[in-house]
Amino acid sequence: MSRRSKFPKTGEDLQLDAYWRRSTRGPLFIEVRLGRDAWPARPWDSLGKTGRAAERRLDGVIVLGEKHDGDHGARSHQAFAESVPRWREAARECEVIEVKAGLSEYVIGQALVGRWLFEQQVGLPIARTLILARHQDTAMQWVAKQLGIAVDNPREPGRQVPTRSRYQYAVRDVELQRIDLYQRNHGGTGMWLTRVPIAGDAWETSGDQRPAAQTFVPFIRVPGESSKGVVVFEPRHRKLLDRDDLELVCVSRHRLGRGAVGLAASHALLFRQRYGRPVARCRIVCGVTDLAVEAACGAIGGSHGLPPVEIVEVGGVAATDVDPRGVEP
């Protein structure tokens, strides 16, 4: 959600405001800061690495059971931070919220990293992690449920929108250059497959037969096999997926962002659902790490049915890092 001086202002603001006024379970605080120097706790110090941890913000936090006057509207991070010591003593539970127009891997990554940083830095118990999104589809709803994330749409009627892939069909030059560095410098040998289907018109789970957006794994590395470059998945490659040593690889923008975490987590779960077996590990290839996000990856990997999630830094590449999706990292 955009940073702004007036609330509600944007469409995403209106979603958050509508949800809050419908629930009225406590005061709403917007743009709650996490990461960097937002709080004394620095959970990423456990990595033992030097580097940067960027500031992140939760779109909203509701402190459950706290008295409030709805006429005063949403309050700021400063007001939230000033009251945290008192709420810790009272063991107040919170609802942490991310807001987007559409439910996607990227907002799921924001919710996952935000939840972990909130637990580690703020230290208040979380009653619920919530994504507000007007446009949803069944595959992403299923992924959110597996990860312990609730989904809501306070501005009815909702829309199921399986009309376009959430992941670009084309593999961009910047991704291929980072994969090349990973292969040459970090032992990423083997056969590389792209566009492995994991969701689409045939999506069906728990009796839900509504279609989902066409979705593809960015890259699957098959150790022990070989290929010249990256190969587009075809039906003849299906048997290669019946292995226990597959590696799911996602390529982040230059600096590691939360969206790549959501991409890795979502696609690992969807792969297991589609092909009946998990990948052995997930690796996120980036130019430069973000220590807070990397620490969150270490904690998120191995939980909620996910494989270990590792970060591989490969440095800069010649191609530009413009994201055609326009997605905030």
pLDDT tens for the chain, 329 residues long, are 444 446 667 888 889 998 998 877 899 999 999 999 999 999 999 999 999 999 999 999 999 999 876 656 788 999 999 999 999 999 999 999 999 999 999 999 999 999 999 999 999 999 999 999 988 888 999 999 999 999 998 766 555 554 444 444 457 888 889 999 998 898 888 999 999 999 886 556 555 666 678 889 989 999 999 888 899 999 999 999 999 999 999 998 899 999 999 999 999 999 999 999 999 999 999 999 999 999 999 999 999 999 999 999 999 877 665 544 444 44
Torsion, Cα 230 234 236 237, to 10 degrees, reads 40
Q: What is the reported pLDDT for 130?
A: 98
- Per-residue pLDDT of 141-181, as tens digits, reads 999 999 999 999 876 655 555 444 444 445 788 888 999 99
Q: Do domains 11-160 and 173-313 have the same CATH topology?
A: yes
What's the N-to-C CA distance of the chain in angstroms?
Answer: 12
For residue 324, the model assigns a pLDDT of: 43
pLDDT for position 136: 84
- Per DSSP bridges, beta strands 126-136 and 309-313 are unpaired
Q: How far apart are CA 230 and CA 43, in angstroms?
A: 37
pLDDT of residue 110: 97
pLDDT of residue 326: 42
Separation of alpha carbons 248 and 75, rounded Å? 41
Q: Say what the pLDDT of residue 74 is.
A: 84
Please check whether residue 150 is in contact with residue 128, taking contact to mean a CB–CB distance below 8 angstroms: yes
| C-alpha closest to that of 127 among 115, 117, 113, 145 | 115
CATH code for 11-160? 3.40.1350
What's residue 3's pLDDT?
A: 44
The per-residue b/e assignment along 127-166, b for 16 or more CB within 10 angstroms, e otherwise, is ebbbbbbbbbbbbbbbbbebbebebbbbeeeeeeebeeeb
pLDDT of residue 11: 81
Domain boundaries defined on the chain: 11-160, 173-313
- Backbone dihedral angles phi then psi of residue 10, each to the nearest 5 degrees: -90, 175
CA atoms within 13 A on the CB side of 149: 32
Tell whether domain 173-313 is in CATH 3.30.1330.
no
SS3 assignment, position 242 = coil
